[in-house]
């Protein structure tokens, strides 16, 4: 499989092969993430294609490192826009459940001036993740960054769905306490 640097070079050369190589290497991750958010294969395909177009338009001058994080962020943002447009009013879907699970731990960001505080919160959450075991980090990130179902996470880490649920509850409790101790949680 072609490495990320060669894919980026193809983008800089404006070669459409770059998009094909990006899809070959990270397409499955992108499609799975988008599907987990929008819950529609057709919408997920559209989101991923829009993300590839976004990457095409941004590279160059952007030189993403790492490429996976860059493309996943684009896919996630596009998918969330579709999700909120189509699903927010219904309050259904497992991604809504995942958001509801974690929203109790994070203060609501309502104003533009809260952007700096949101960045600080992101830094604090990253520090919190460093306090977790590798397995706990995987469980947390697969649920809240990749919107995986409990079943998907259970398969990935080799534990039961119930165990995933319990661990996520404990992680959220730890996170809430961590944020309270740092006077972040209001």
DSSP string, 110-127: -SGGGHHHHHHHHHHHHH
Q: What is the pLDDT of residues 128-180, one digit of tens each?
A: 999 999 999 999 988 888 888 899 999 999 999 999 999 999 999 999 888 88
- Burial-class residue 101 by CB neighbours within 10 Å (0-12, 13-18, 19+): middle
Residues 6 or more apart whose CB falls under 8 angstroms from that of 180 comprise: none
Determine the 3-state secondary structure of 146 from DSSP: coil
Sketch out the chain's domains with CATH numbers.
Answer: 4-89 (1.10.1740), 93-181 (1.10.10.10)
* pLDDT classification of 16: cutoffs 50, 70, 90: very high
CA dist., res. 162 & res. 60, Å (int): 45
pLDDT digit string, tens, across residues 91-115: 555 666 666 666 656 555 455 555 6
- Compute CA 71 distance to the chain's CA centroid, rounded to the nearest angstrom: 10
Measuring CA to CA, how many Å separate 86 from each of 38, 42, 90? Answer: 8, 13, 8
Higher pLDDT, 80 or 112: 80
Buried b (16+ CB within 10 A) or exposed e, 151-168: ebbbeebeeeeeebeebb
Prediction pTM value: 0.61
Mean pLDDT of the chain: 84
């Amino acid at each position: 499989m072609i490495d990320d640097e060669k894919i980026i070079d193809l983008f800089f050369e404006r070669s459409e092969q770059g998009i094909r190589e990006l899809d070959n290497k990270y397409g499955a991750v992108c499609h799975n993430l988008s599907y987990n958010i929008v819950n529609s294969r057709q919408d997920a395909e559209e989101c991923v294609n829009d993300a590839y177009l976004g990457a095409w338009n941004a590279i160059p001058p952007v030189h993403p490192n790492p490429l996976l994080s860059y493309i996943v962020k684009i896919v996630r943002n596009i998918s969330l826009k579709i999700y909120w447009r189509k699903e927010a009013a219904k309050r259904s879907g497992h991604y809504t459940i995942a958001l509801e699970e974690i929203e109790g731990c994070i203060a609501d960001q309502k104003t533009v001036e809260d952007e700096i505080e949101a960045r600080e919160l992101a830094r604090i959450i990253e520090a919190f993740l460093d306090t977790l075991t590798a397995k706990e980090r995987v469980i947390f990130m697969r649920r809240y960054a990749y919107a995986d179902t409990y079943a998907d996470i259970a398969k990935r880490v080799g534990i039961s769905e119930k165990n995933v649920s319990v661990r996520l509850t404990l992680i959220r409790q730890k996170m809430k306490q961590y944020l309270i101790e740092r006077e972040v949680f209001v």
